């Protein structure tokens, strides 16, 4: 049967729907009128609208043609029947004889047994199915692609009515994992502790489209073309910059520009405009369809391409709304903001006024993501892997981030807000007490001095040296500036940065860790290979030894910046003595080059290594004569010792660093370093948690380096412990056949008044 819905009919239908939507009456009244109009214009005996309710249930909300008594009575689970299948697969269906479909579910109260053909499309909002729109006919009608597209366009208009909260409350439309609707509690992965209360700010806010139906298709096509040209012009301006140069970063931008010229994508948007939508509505319709269709794709390349289209669609909508196509325009933050994102780059936080940020929630992210490192530097609570949070929250919703317990409360009730408000106040009081310890020495009750150092990775971190009273920087992560730039920073830029860091340290020691990238820390301008096990792959010192020019340039910048001053350099992820020797030889070459050039050398040079790879611990007799110091990276060391992917939530908490095995391993390393007179410290996350730090002190560690918020709590612990007493108890604990001594050590601390 030929199509009964030419483009002129589609435009006429949209115009009528616009009038209905703008008319008087309740939302239910408007929905009833809408299904009547659709049935008439599409020459269908039936038009029905199903709306998603709590618990993934589709409820018949309006119908023209089926029994009216079935409205609000007929319900189908997602995946049940043809309608449930449309919702579950988020795909349109057109059937000449629906009753022969294997998923057909007969509902006698509807009276639909006399209707054979069925066409249905999902009603989508924010990349999530919120309903299903269906038309049916008695005859075995063959619906055309044009008719399916028309119904999809109508469903997009209906999505605004369904999502308005007038048919079903907005809280109910948000997926929930329980029966209670308020407060909606979501779980994630703790990436940085703390509690934050504020209003939701979406990192990529959904544009609110005020006008869906167009007056003139030609005008809208022209607006769409101008918006595309605006984006392309902004990219051309980037290419014309004198510092753009050549390389992978330029190739990425050129690939991005190719997406704006994709004929299939542009054609689909143009066709949607010709059916009667505005340029904004057409862009949203095509983009929503792409997001839904690609939701199940796991291929990382294709998912990244979807992110490209996400960004292009957002920029187009911003341009059409009167903004700039060349940059994301972040609105002024509320005084207390909780930033919510799918994922973020390490410098994205600085697009916002971070002084107003009270928390960060991401649908992706891991403890070693560099945006998390930045957030830690700002002391912002961070929660990651919070599934579908962007679809469950609206801008300016009240949100509580409980980073300590890895949970989020959306639109919390008053009693929940009161509980967390008190928790924030108590945390502020503790911080005030810790601030009083700034100038107090970190000495145990029995007179043992502990070196308290700070981890850093940004110039912003350096201000906390004076605030906390840290003795210096035990770990400066040099990779963040590399990740923030569109191209590899040259020697001059690196030297300038390292000099500023030393200046701000004001004579206090700074240990610079050389470039540590790879795994989950990817440089945008390097085409890193796809690896099945990136944590065990081409990363860190392995990359820089394979690309010695990069390492030599960094070492050249470090020795140049340290002219006349003390320099400490540390190499990461060293697995063999040979790797350390090769890296140290490159440093020697750069020191010789500096002298040959007539420049002043550093006053002294200390060279050390991270101990993260267990194999290195079994080569200490050969390594110790060559190093000036060792720093244990507890994060990777635990990952490798326990054979656990710390980015995998199924196993990341399976083993405890406070286990007899892990602590015994560290103790043996300490004993060998002490015997050789080589200083050893810990700079991983273990060092910044009072109970874990207590365990490290008890096995012999006397130098700890941690993020600045941890310095106060750990110093408080240090000043409350009798180290000889806890060390004797630790000797006993290490003999126990238990997976963890955490609870026993904590009970000991409580009984002996140790602040943990």
Whether the per-residue pLDDT at 483 is higher than 50: the answer is yes
Whether the per-residue pLDDT at 441 is higher than 90: the answer is yes
Whether the per-residue pLDDT at 174 is higher than 60: the answer is no
The helix/strand count (H/E) of the chain reads as 27, 22
Whether the per-residue pLDDT at 367 is higher than 70: the answer is no
**In this predicted structure, what is the pLDDT of residue 499?**
94
Residue 412's nearest CA partner among 698, 186, 727 is 186
**In this predicted structure, what is the pLDDT of residue 501?**
94
Mean pLDDT of 339-357: 74
Cβ atoms of 694 and 744 within 8 Å: the answer is no
- 442 SS3 class: coil
Whether the per-residue pLDDT at 319 is higher than 50: the answer is yes
Residue 85's nearest CA partner among 111, 104, 109 is 104
Length of the chain: 756
Query: On the CB side of 368, how many CA atoms lie within 13 Å of its CA?
Result: 21
**In this predicted structure, what is the pLDDT of residue 171?**
58
pLDDT band for position 300 (50/70/90)? very low
Query: Which residues make Cβ contacts (< 8 Å) with residue 682, sequence separation at least 6?
Result: 631, 632, 634, 666, 696, 701, 703, 704, 705
Cβ atoms of 561 and 522 within 8 Å: the answer is no
- 392 SS3 class: helix
Cβ atoms of 132 and 50 within 8 Å: the answer is yes
Cβ atoms of 537 and 519 within 8 Å: the answer is yes
DSSP state of 215: S
Q: How would you class 418 by CB atoms within 10 Å of its CB: exposed for 0-12, middle for 13-18, buried for 19 or more?
A: exposed
Mean pLDDT of 726-731: 97
Q: Are strands 680-682 and 629-632 parallel, antiparallel or unpaired?
A: parallel
**In this predicted structure, what is the pLDDT of residue 251?**
47
Cis geometry, peptide bond prior to residue 722 (ω within 30 degrees of 0): no
Residue 290's nearest CA partner among 320, 311, 261, 318 is 311
Whether the per-residue pLDDT at 486 is higher than 70: the answer is no
- pLDDT tens digit string along 116-150? 999 999 998 766 789 999 999 999 999 998 889 88
Mean pLDDT of 506-528: 80
**In this predicted structure, what is the pLDDT of residue 747?**
96
Whether the per-residue pLDDT at 213 is higher than 50: the answer is yes
**In this predicted structure, what is the pLDDT of residue 178?**
38
3-state secondary structure 498-567: HHHHHHHHCCCCEEEECCCCECCECCCCCCCCCCCCHHHCCCCHHHHHHCHHHHHHHHHHHHHHCECCEE
Cα separation, 626 vs 533, whole angstroms = 31
**In this predicted structure, what is the pLDDT of residue 207?**
61
| 192 strand-pairing partners | 382
Cα separation, 710 vs 377, whole angstroms = 11
pLDDT band for position 4 (50/70/90)? very low
Cβ atoms of 272 and 290 within 8 Å: the answer is no
Taken in order of first residue, the domains within the chain and their CATH numbers are 7-173 (3.30.450.40), 184-205+331-426 (3.50.30.10), 217-320 (1.10.274.10), 440-465+634-682+684-756 (3.20.20.60)
Residue 334's nearest CA partner among 195, 206, 201, 208 is 201
**In this predicted structure, what is the pLDDT of residue 370?**
57
Kindly state the percentage of the chain with pLDDT values over 70. 84
Cβ atoms of 593 and 557 within 8 Å: the answer is no
């Amino acid at each position: 049967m030929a199509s009964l819905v030419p483009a002129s009919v589609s435009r006429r239908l949209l115009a009528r729907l616009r009038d209905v939507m703008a008319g008087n009456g309740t939302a239910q009244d408007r929905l009833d009128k809408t299904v009547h109009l659709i049935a008439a214009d599409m020459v269908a005996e039936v038009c029905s609208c199903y709306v998603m309710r709590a618990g993934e249930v589709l409820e018949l909300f309006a119908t023209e043609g089926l029994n009216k008594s079935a409205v609000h009575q007929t319900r189908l689970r997602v995946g049940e029947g043809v309608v449930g299948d449309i919702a579950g697969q988020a795909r349109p269906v057109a059937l000449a004889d629906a009753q022969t479909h294997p998923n057909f579910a007969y509902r006698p109260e509807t009276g639909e047994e006399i209707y054979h053909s069925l066409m249905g499309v999902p009603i989508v909002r924010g990349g999530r199915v919120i309903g299903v729109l269906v038309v049916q006919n008695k005859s075995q009608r063959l619906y055309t692609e044009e008719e399916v597209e028309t119904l999809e366009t109508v469903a997009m208009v209906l999505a605004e009515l369904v999502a308005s909260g007038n048919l079903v409350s907005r809280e109910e439309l948000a997926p929930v994992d329980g029966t209670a609707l308020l407060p909606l509690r979501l779980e994630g992965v703790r990436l940085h502790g703390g509690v934050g209360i504020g209003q939701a700010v979406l990192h990529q806010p959904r544009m609110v489209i005020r006008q869906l139906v167009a007056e003139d298709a030609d005008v809208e096509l022209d607006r769409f073309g101008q918006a595309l040209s605006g984006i392309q012009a902004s990219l051309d301006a980037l290419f014309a910059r004198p510092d753009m140069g050549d390389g992978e970063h330029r190739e990425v931008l050129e690939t991005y520009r190719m997406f704006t010229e994709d004929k299939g994508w542009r054609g689909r948007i143009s066709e949607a405009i010709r059916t009667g939508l505005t340029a904004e509505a057409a862009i949203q319709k095509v983009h929503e369809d792409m997001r839904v269709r690609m939701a199940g794709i796991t291929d990382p390349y294709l998912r990244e391409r979807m992110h490209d289209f996400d960004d292009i669609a957002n920029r187009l909508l911003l341009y059409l709304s009167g903004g700039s196509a060349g940059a994301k325009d972040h609105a002024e933050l509320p005084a207390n903001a909780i930033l919510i994102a799918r994922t973020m780059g390490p410098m994205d936080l600085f697009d916002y006024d971070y002084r107003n940020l009270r928390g960060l929630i991401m649908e992706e992210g891991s403890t070693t993501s560099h945006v998390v490192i930045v957030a830690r530097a700002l002391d912002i609570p961070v929660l990651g892997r919070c599934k579908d949070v962007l679809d469950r929250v609206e801008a300016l919703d009240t949100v509580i981030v409980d980073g300590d317990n890895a949970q989020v409360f959306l639109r919390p009730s008053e009693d929940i807000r009161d509980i967390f408000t008190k928790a924030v106040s108590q945390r502020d009081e503790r911080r005030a007490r810790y601030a009083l310890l700034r100038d107090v020495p970190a000495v145990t009750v029995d007179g043992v001095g502990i070196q308290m150092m700070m981890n850093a990775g940004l110039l912003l971190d350096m201000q906390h040296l004076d605030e906390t009273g840290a003795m210096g920087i035990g770990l400066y992560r040099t990779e963040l500036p590399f990740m923030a730039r569109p191209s590899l920073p040259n020697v001059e830029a690196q030297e300038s940065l390292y000099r500023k860091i030393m200046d701000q340290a004001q004579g206090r020691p700074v240990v610079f860790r050389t470039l540590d990238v790879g795994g989950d820390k990817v440089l945008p301008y390097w085409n890193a290979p796809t690896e099945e096990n990136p944590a065990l792959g081409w990363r860190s010192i392995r990359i820089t030894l394979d690309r010695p020019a990069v390492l030599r340039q960094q070492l050249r910048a470090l020795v140049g910046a340290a002219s006349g001053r003390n320099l400490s350099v540390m190499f990461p992820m060293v697995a063999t003595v040979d790797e350390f020797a090769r890296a140290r030889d490159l440093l020697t070459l750069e020191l010789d080059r500096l002298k040959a050039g007539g420049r002043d050398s550093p006053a002294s040079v200390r060279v050390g290594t991270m101990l993260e790879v267990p194999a290195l611990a079994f080569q200490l007799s050969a390594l110790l004569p060559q190093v000036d110091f060792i720093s244990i990276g507890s994060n990777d060391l635990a990952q490798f010792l326990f054979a656990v992917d710390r980015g995998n939530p199924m196993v990341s908490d399976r083993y405890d660093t406070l286990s007899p095995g892990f602590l015994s391993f560290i103790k043996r390393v300490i004993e060998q370093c002490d015997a050789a007179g080589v200083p050893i410290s810990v700079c991983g996350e273990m060092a910044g948690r009072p109970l874990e730090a207590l365990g490290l002190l008890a096995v012999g560690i006397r130098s700890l380096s941690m993020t600045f918020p941890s310095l106060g709590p750990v110093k408080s612990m240090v000043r409350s412990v009798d180290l000889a007493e806890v060390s004797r108890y630790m000797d006993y604990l290490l003999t126990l056949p238990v997976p963890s001594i955490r609870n026993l050590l904590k009970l000991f601390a409580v009984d002996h008044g140790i602040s943990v």
